Structure 1
């Protein structure tokens, strides 16, 4: 509590200072405090206490802002001194000075908003200002003006304030949405960077062994690995890719693994898709990688992976099934499936379905993604 008071002590000082200032101004006739409306006085005191506190609070952080606020504060009191000296109802000079104060204060608080919407603000307030000047100076004498003012609902001069406030609220909402989108984009980039690093390392090790043996398979491995790395780096950064390209990527992955294994492995990959269908890249590879890592690599014989990729009018379906050795316990939890779930929630929120079934010695994973996301 003490730390909080120290941090915001400037605002406490502001409230303490403004109360005697109010009563001094009331004493000398510059303002009239509505003594029967104490709540109104409290609201005014809070507002002007904040105005006084702002330059004190930001003095060490931004001295230019402090100077601007103090200048506006001086302008405000000049307006009241002139108004008190001239004793003219709805003095145009006071009105102009106060308008300058409020516009300047809004600019200090939300400069970006004022710069962006200055044309709208001008379009709203210049006609109102000219209308006021016309009524005050050219509608007849003071009695005629006061009669018009009495009959005219002057709240119309306050209508633009909530309109501009709503526009500002909309700007803040857009800013928050953009911030969320940028955060999601950054997170997606980090998640993509986690895909397949250990696969590439393993393949490079296998390639090293093949080159030592002068194996005829080495050039083919280099070519496939190059294609996969290119796809991961360049296509993986795109929002969507053609599903046919994703299939080629998966086939390269399968062929590279076939070269690694000396045992009998049954791998089937059936796909029936439209060549123009698109999808977010590198979603299926994690499921395929898990099938190899937690399935085939745990078995010495009769290992299999069955893959079906197809689509209907509304969804893309990816089914993958593999067997595994239930006696082989893998302590490594890994990040692959968690990575995939997070990416799906960012890319296809509420428009996808991921089901993982584990039977006695078979894993079956079904991923369904909406084509209308």
Structure 2
């Protein structure tokens, strides 16, 4: 638009000026052409400087936003790691292990190995932004194994993922969603908790039936989800979707492919 105005007014201004001075004939055409070209060149320099400044400001803001998202992602990862290496989970696991040693000692070595694998995985992911969904699911299944030792048939878990896939996920994200489901819902023989993980279109979907405990729920569930949302804001241009229905809680994580 500025260029169009320049093409119109740059010759028009010297033309009116020359008419005012009384210049006419061929002289006015040459004079208008030269002066118009000079004014237009000056106009283009000013416009170029303006847009260069705007582009530089936009580039600077984009870099600052990316750095802010990166900082938030690192903070979120730290919070996830801090919450996952959780003394309550370790305490419950050791209590369960104590019962297994007394009642089913043959299962104790497997339980100890799974517990060790869980904490090793947590420490290994401390500096990673993404992991293979299959590595993450192995971690989730180890966590489910330990949880089922405590809840037995009251905890039902099912996953439906492609056997080979290049899908990447934020480390510890799926496990956090499974842990939240167990932590905030009743898990009993007459009220089994059902957790499912599947692929739907461009999302990894985790869902569970809602049977909320009759206790005061802390804000850790919300904090965990907010941290997960922040991490995916940095990792993907699609947002995390959280859907709470009357009887079902659903979280959809955007698929990331390398």
TM superposition score normalised by structure 1: 0.48
Asked if 2 retains the 8 angstrom alpha-carbon contact of 1:272 and 1:310, the reply is yes
The answer to whether residue 113 in structure 2 is matched with residue 229 in structure 1 is no
SS at structure 1 position matched to 2:129: coil
Residue of structure 2 equivalent to 1:333: 218
What is the alpha-carbon distance in structure 2 between the residues aligned to residue 285 and residue 372 of structure 1?
17
Residue of structure 1 equivalent to 2:251: 367
Post-superposition CA distance 1:135-185 (Å, at most 9, x none): xxxxxxxxxxxxxxxx977959x7686577456535632442243133222
Asked if 2 retains the 8 angstrom alpha-carbon contact of 1:246 and 1:281, the reply is yes
Residue of structure 1 equivalent to 2:164: 275
What is the alpha-carbon distance in structure 1 between the residues aligned to residue 197 and residue 59 of structure 2?
43
What is the alpha-carbon distance in structure 2 between the residues aligned to residue 285 and residue 322 of structure 1?
18
Asked if 2 retains the 8 angstrom alpha-carbon contact of 1:307 and 1:320, the reply is yes
Q: Which residue, 219, 228, 246 being the options, matches 2:136? A: 246
Asked if 2 retains the 8 angstrom alpha-carbon contact of 1:192 and 1:236, the reply is no
Structure 2 CA distance for partners of 1:228 and 1:164, relative to 1, 3 Å: same
Structure 2 CA distance for partners of 1:249 and 1:366, relative to 1, 3 Å: same
SS at structure 1 position matched to 2:106: coil
Asked if 2 retains the 8 angstrom alpha-carbon contact of 1:319 and 1:366, the reply is yes
Post-superposition CA distance 1:50-93 (Å, at most 9, x none): xxxxxxxxxxxxxxxxxxxxxxxxxxxxxxxxxxxxxxxxxxxx
- Deviation >4 Å, runs of 4+: 151-156, 158-168, 208-214
Asked if 1 retains the 8 angstrom alpha-carbon contact of 2:97 and 2:111, the reply is yes
Asked if 2 retains the 8 angstrom alpha-carbon contact of 1:354 and 1:368, the reply is yes
What is the alpha-carbon distance in structure 1 between the residues aligned to residue 70 and residue 230 of structure 2?
15
Asked if 2 retains the 8 angstrom alpha-carbon contact of 1:264 and 1:303, the reply is no
TM superposition score normalised by structure 2: 0.66
Counterparts of 1:132-151 in structure 2 under 5 Å? none
Post-superposition CA distance 1:224-273 (Å, at most 9, x none): 01111122221364222222222222211111112224x65251313132
Aligned residues: 215
SS at structure 1 position matched to 2:124: helix
Residue of structure 1 equivalent to 2:74: 186
Residue of structure 2 equivalent to 1:320: 208
Asked if 1 retains the 8 angstrom alpha-carbon contact of 2:169 and 2:256, the reply is no
Q: Which residue, 242, 262, 265 being the options, matches 2:154? A: 265
What is the alpha-carbon distance in structure 1 between the residues aligned to residue 252 and residue 52 of structure 2?
45
Asked if 2 retains the 8 angstrom alpha-carbon contact of 1:309 and 1:319, the reply is yes
Deviation at 1:322, TM superposition (A): 5.3
Deviation at 1:366, TM superposition (A): 1.5
Asked if 1 retains the 8 angstrom alpha-carbon contact of 2:202 and 2:255, the reply is yes
How well do the aligned residues superpose, as a CA RMSD in angstroms? 3.6
Counterparts of 1:82-97 in structure 2 under 5 Å? none
Residue of structure 1 equivalent to 2:195: 307
What is the alpha-carbon distance in structure 1 between the residues aligned to residue 196 and residue 149 of structure 2?
22
Residue of structure 2 equivalent to 1:343: 228
Mind listing any 5+ residue stretches in structure 1 that lack a counterpart? 1-150
Residue of structure 2 equivalent to 1:355: 243
